[in-house]
């Protein structure tokens, strides 16, 4: 319990600090690989959600769990969806409500989804599970809130990604060089004051197993963001190449599972009367 509270406090502190600058990262030309990852993730989520909308009554009641500044569903027609955004960070919820007056937003924890059982057509949960100490509990909560036949669109950082591994080495080397520079110049450490929290990653098979353990069936898998996240990931050619590879290698395959940094999955809660 103490570990869960500490993790939640550190994650909330981080996203509270970036709340006002989070939304603009989704628009325009990405400045770094993490910006591109946000944009590609939104594109995949919207593509999967719009496809799901053709298989259920409209408008769909959608919970955007971990909604942040509310940008993930920006370009989805509100004729298709009615959005309820949920986030644990009040500052994010406030920003989302200001920017999206037609949607509803609530402050709540991922493990305590504020909806009635079997009342939601779809849940989007992107950039969330990796920050939770008990992601399966959140998936079980989502399961209870979804109608039979309801959809879950969820993302995972890909533990098997060679680009993620190399990016970790690159970032460690960059941080060490910055610390040497700051020590020589008598400056505070470059990473001082940063909140420290865990960030879990999953391989594609492990992510599938966790979803299936929670009772979901997997319907679609997309992989994205093929590039380094440090200094190299701020170069325009690297960003351009990553987007092109995300288009070409986006479907699940041996190569995409070994390279893609982020996984987006469409899963479904079985209907009571499967067809």
The predicted-structure confidence for 80-127, as pLDDT tens digits, reads as follows 999 999 999 999 999 999 999 999 999 998 888 889 999 999 999 999
pLDDT, tens only, 12-34: 777 777 777 888 899 999 999 99
- Would 216 be classed as within a structural domain? yes
End-to-end CA distance of the chain: 42
Q: Which residues pair with 105 in a beta bridge?
A: 85
pLDDT at 179: 79
- Would 273 be classed as within a structural domain? no
CA distances from 215 to 136, 141, 201, 210 (A): 11, 11, 21, 9
The 10 Å Cβ neighbour count of residue 245 is 20
All residue ranges of the chain with pLDDT < 50 are 275
As a whole number of Å, the CA-based R_g of the chain is: 19
pLDDT at 178: 76
Q: For residue 113, give both structure tokens.
A: 């989804």
- Would 156 be classed as within a structural domain? yes
- Would 231 be classed as within a structural domain? yes
- Would 207 be classed as within a structural domain? yes
User: 109, 89 in Cβ contact below 8 A?
Assistant: no
pLDDT at 195: 61
Q: What is the CATH number of the domain that holds 160?
A: 3.40.50.150
Domain count, the chain: 1
Reported residue count of the chain is 275
- Would 34 be classed as within a structural domain? yes
- Would 274 be classed as within a structural domain? no
- Would 82 be classed as within a structural domain? yes
* d(C-alpha 202, C-alpha 87), whole Å: 22
pLDDT at 51: 92
What domain range is 175 assigned to? 2-268
pLDDT at 189: 67
Instruction: Quote the pTM value.
Output: 0.91
User: 155, 263 in Cβ contact below 8 A?
Assistant: yes
């Amino acid at each position: 319990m103490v570990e869960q509270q500490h993790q939640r406090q550190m994650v909330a502190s981080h996203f509270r600090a970036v709340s006002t600058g989070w939304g603009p990262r989704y628009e325009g030309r990405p400045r770094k690989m993490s910006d591109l990852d946000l944009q590609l993730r939104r594109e995949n989520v919207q593509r999967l959600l719009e496809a799901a909308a053709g298989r259920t009554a409209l408008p769909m009641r959608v919970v955007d769990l971990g909604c942040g500044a509310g940008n993930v569903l920006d370009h989805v027609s509100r004729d298709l969806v009615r959005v309820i955004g949920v986030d644990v960070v009040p500052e994010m919820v406030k920003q989302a409500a200001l920017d999206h007056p037609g949607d509803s937003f609530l402050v709540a924890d991922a493990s305590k989804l504020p909806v009635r059982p079997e009342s939601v057509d779809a849940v989007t949960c992107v950039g969330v599970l990796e920050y939770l100490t008990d992601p399966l509990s959140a998936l079980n909560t989502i399961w209870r809130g979804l109608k039979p036949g309801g959809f879950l669109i969820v993302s995972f950082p890909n533990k098997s990604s060679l680009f993620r591994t190399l990016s970790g080495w690159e970032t460690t080397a960059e941080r060490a060089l910055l610390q040497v520079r700051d020590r020589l110049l008598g400056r505070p450490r470059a990473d001082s004051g940063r909140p420290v929290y865990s960030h879990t990653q999953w391989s594609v098979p492990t992510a599938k197993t966790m979803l299936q353990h929670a009772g979901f069936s997997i319907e679609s898998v997309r992989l994205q963001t093929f590039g380094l996240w440090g200094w190299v990931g701020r170069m325009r050619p690297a960003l351009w190449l990553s987007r092109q590879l995300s288009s070409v290698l986006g479907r699940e395959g041996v190569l995409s599972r070994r390279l893609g940094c982020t996984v987006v999955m469409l899963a479904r809660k079985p209907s009571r009367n499967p067809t």
